[in-house]
């Protein structure tokens, strides 16, 4: 998106403080300072990429390993057994900070993530065309081997 440092870059560089929940070689998790509910936690890779599809496999796998741990910690801290994991890619998809990040948001009564879902349909011909393109993309992806 730009060469301007994001707020997450500044946190990783130690220029801004954060309330650290978890940290390892590839991942940092910290409390959101504008939470939708108490315990709302952000999970970021230490690799500085704007979009999920840009992450190296190593960082993507590390995020995948950390997210369940963070979810359990959020549940323990908030006392809930319901939560959302949200990750946006691109301005049109509501991404505000252009560094990959996941939100773990507890659902506490009326607090938490509110979403509107408008399901459509999937015709067999459309599914076939989508699958052909997706399978070709996966076959060409060096990370899929």
What pLDDT shows up at residue 109?
Answer: 86
Identify the helix (H) or strand (E) that includes residue 103.
Answer: strand 102-106
Number of C-beta neighbours around residue 59 at 10 A: 20
Q: What is the pLDDT confidence band of residue 141, given thresholds at 50, 70 and 90?
A: confident
Q: What is the pLDDT confidence band of residue 1, given thresholds at 50, 70 and 90?
A: very low
Residue 64 has pLDDT above 60, yes or no: yes
Across the range 31-57, mean pLDDT stands at 97
Identify the helix (H) or strand (E) that includes residue 135.
Answer: helix 124-140
pLDDT one-digit tens code per residue, 11-31: 999 999 999 999 999 999 999
Q: Which residues are catalytic?
A: 101
Domains of the chain: 7-116 (3.30.428.10)
Label residue 41 left, alpha or beta by phi (over 0 means left) and psi (-120 to 50 means alpha).
beta
């Amino acid at each position: 998106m730009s060469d301007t440092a994001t707020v997450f870059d500044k946190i990783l560089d130690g220029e801004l403080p954060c309330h650290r929940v978890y940290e390892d070689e590839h991942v940092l998790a910290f409390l959101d300072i504008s939470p939708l509910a108490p315990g709302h936690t952000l999970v970021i890779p230490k690799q500085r990429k704007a979009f999920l599809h840009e992450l190296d496999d190593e960082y993507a796998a590390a995020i995948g390993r950390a997210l369940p741990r963070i979810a359990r910690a959020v549940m323990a801290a908030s006392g809930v057994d319901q939560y959302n994991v949200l990750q946006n890619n691109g301005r049109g998809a509501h991404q505000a900070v252009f560094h990959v990040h996941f939100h773990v948001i507890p659902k506490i009564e009326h607090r938490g993530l509110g979403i509107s879902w408008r399901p459509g349909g999937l015709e067999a011909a459309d599914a076939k065309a989508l699958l052909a393109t997706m399978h070709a993309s996966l076959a060409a992806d060096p990370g899929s081997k």
